[in-house]
Amino acid sequence: MRVSKGETYERVFVNEEVKLCIEQEAGSHVKIHVINASFCITVNQIGEGCSTEIYGLEHLHGEDNVTAETHVTHAVGGGRSNQLIKFVLDDNSRGRFIGDLKIAPDAQQTEAHQTNRNLLLSETAEMRTQPQLEIYADDVQATHGASTGQLDESALFYMQQRGIDKNKARQLLVNAFMKEVIDTISDEKIREELLDAVDGVVE
């Protein structure tokens, strides 16, 4: 699909597998959230001054096996892109993030960020992260970060010391981790629904 000059394409996909191939014309905006489903999103900024935002939030249980894949290309300059992909992996779940970010030689003054953060809640869950950055222009701002860790034991103990049950403390930390992605959803109704679903676990 193609997002025309100056247009905005914004979608939140929940529990729905997503396969998208998008070309962005000058000054267009793309903002996509995928919650709890595999996705493959390819975006090519072919016009100047575009913005692309891709958010993924995957809370996996049991034998879930989810792949989040992004291919973002800045073909021309003055564009921005931001990606935030988070996985929470419990039980025997498997997660995979593949993220290609390409900044072409002509794409000067591009600002591109890619972040992948993962939380392992069980010893048998597994996360694989394959970020790939190809930057051919010199006047750009590009950052990427990937980390996979466990819940902060000192935060857990701090909460327990205030009388909060350990499982509830774990849930509060997991919710806080997921909230960062949900907070970026523009549609208030969807955002509130997802936040309620997340907070509801604690009540």
Interaction of residue 201 with another protein, rule CB under 8 A:
no
Interaction of residue 192 with another protein, rule CB under 8 A:
no
Interaction of residue 165 with another protein, rule CB under 8 A:
yes
The 3-state DSSP composition of the chain as helix, strand, coil percent (nearest 5) reads 20, 50, 35
Rank residues 25 and 180 by Cβ distance to another protein and give the closer one.
180
CA distance 181 to 94: 20
Interaction of residue 191 with another protein, rule CB under 8 A:
no
Which helix (H) or strand (E) covers residue 59, if one does? strand 51-60
Rank residues 39 and 87 by Cβ distance to another protein and give the closer one.
87
Q: What is the DSSP string of 127-179?
A: EEEEEEEEE--SS-EEEEEEEEE---HHHHHHHHTTT--HHHHHHHHHHHHHH
Residue 100: burial class (beta carbons within 10 Å; 0-12, 13-18, 19+): middle
Mask for 36-65, x = binds another protein (CB under 8 A): ------------------------------
Closest approach of another protein to the CB of residue 149, in Å: 13
Pick the piece of the chain touching another protein (CB under 8 A) from 65-73, 114-122, 141-149, 169-177. 169-177
Mask for 62-101, x = binds another protein (CB under 8 A): ----------------------------------------
Question: Which of these, 173, 180, 161, lies nearest to 202 by C-alpha position?
Answer: 173
Closest approach of another protein to the CB of residue 168, in Å: 7
CA distance 178 to 41: 21
Give the binding site for another protein (CB under 8 A).
152-155, 157-166, 168-169, 172-173, 175-177, 179-180, 202
